[in-house]
Amino acid sequence: MSIRPEEYHSAEVFARERERVFGSRLFAGSAWRFDGPDAYRAYLAGNHALVTRKAGDRFHTLDNVCLHRGNLIHPLGYGEKPLRCGYHAWQYAPDGALSHAPLADPACIARKQLQSYPTAELRGLLFADLSGRAPALEAARRVLDRIGFDLDAGARPFRCHSVEHRANWKLLVENVTEAYHVSFLHGPSFVSQGYASAGGYEWGAEGDCSWHVMHAKEGLDARVRRLIPQSHREFTHAFVYPNLFVAVTSGLIAYIGHFLPTSAGTTLLETELYETPLLMRQKDAIREHFKAAAGPFSALVIEEDRVQLESSQLGLPYARGPHQLVPAEARVGHFQKTYREAMDAV
């Protein structure tokens, strides 16, 4: 059964999603963000206020709420400072143990440990599991293999960007898990590069994750192939349920997009662009050429999608029935089936 129209704007449904969809494994951040000694990412996910940090060679995801009076220990976003509450200076060790409560009588403090959640790294991608289990990453590993995603150790993005969408998070997922819309929505971007809705396309699924490959028209890659013979005319894409998108363009530019819903009708998308190992082996002038083109291209695609998704969000409250998917949207169907199973689980 498809996702019902009301599930894209209902506050009650969104409250259930926070527990049933975003209450287990989720993408927590890119490892490069945590190189500083006290670097952190503070965010809201599921029914939790969380902070992810690194201590030594281990990553920790903890509740970001002080045990004293419920203040957020870190403000939302990225930063670098000790795990210390700014209200009354209660301080915590990297594993969440209370280490210092100034001017407080220890006899008054019964709870001395922030809740922690298992966190694991896969190719520079961090995953936390809010159910308390070790993050299940085999399906994610297989879809990353399938699209050829493998960055050099210590890789840093050359562009980071964030965009708020006035649209439900499921619309973002459904949009990127099909190529049916490409010819009609992405004329200035994908179509100009030789990609089309009726072009070469293949897809597959691994557990709750999925991937697809789009093949561009022949003959448009002569200049690129002259510069970099090992490049290819493919756009590969993976979705790691529930909140991570990864893509590779022509084997040269890697994209990481991850989101967190901020309400039933708003979603914050954060993106990063990287050079692949193949591009990094080229001369500096060639590298800079492709990097200079990749940033505007990515921004254009996201903007084309954002406008359409916000239009869909406005239309869905008036829809007379659920989506009517066509064969080209089979990957959307896989996501909807995964979603339905999570939401309807007893």
For domain 138-344, the CATH architecture is: Alpha-Beta Complex (3.90)
pLDDT of residue 195: 93
Q: SS3 of 96, please?
A: coil
CA distance 136 to 71: 31
The rounded distance, in Å, linking the Cα atoms of 60 and 44 is 16
In a structure prediction context, what are the per-residue pLDDT tens digits for the chain, which is 346 residues long? Answer: 589 999 999 999 999 999 999 999 999 999 999 998 899 999 999 999 999 999 988 999 999 999 999 999 999 999 999 999 999 999 999 999 999 999 999 999 999 999 999 999 999 999 999 999 999 999 999 999 999 998 887 899 999 999 999 999 999 999 999 999 999 999 999 999 999 998 889 999 999 999 999 999 876 566 677 778 888 889 999 999 999 999 999 999 999 999 999 999 999 999 999 999 999 999 999 999 999 999 999 999 999 999 999 999 999 999 998 899 999 999 999 999 999 999 998 7
Q: Domain segments of the chain: what residues?
A: 25-129, 138-344
What pTM was computed for the model? 0.95
pLDDT at 221: 62
Q: How many CB atoms lie within 10 A of CB 187?
A: 11
Q: Which H helix or E strand runs over 311? A: helix 284-315
pLDDT for 230? 84
Residue 95 DSSP one-character state: T
The per-residue pLDDT for 340 is 96
Q: CB burial class (10 A; 0-12, 13-18, 19+) of residue 237?
A: buried
Burial of residue 11 (number of CB atoms within 10 Å: 0-12, 13-18, 19+): exposed
- Contact between 255 and 298 under an 8 Å Cβ cutoff? The reply is yes
**Could you tell me the CATH superfamily of domain 25-129?**
Rieske [2Fe-2S] iron-sulphur domain (2.102.10.10)
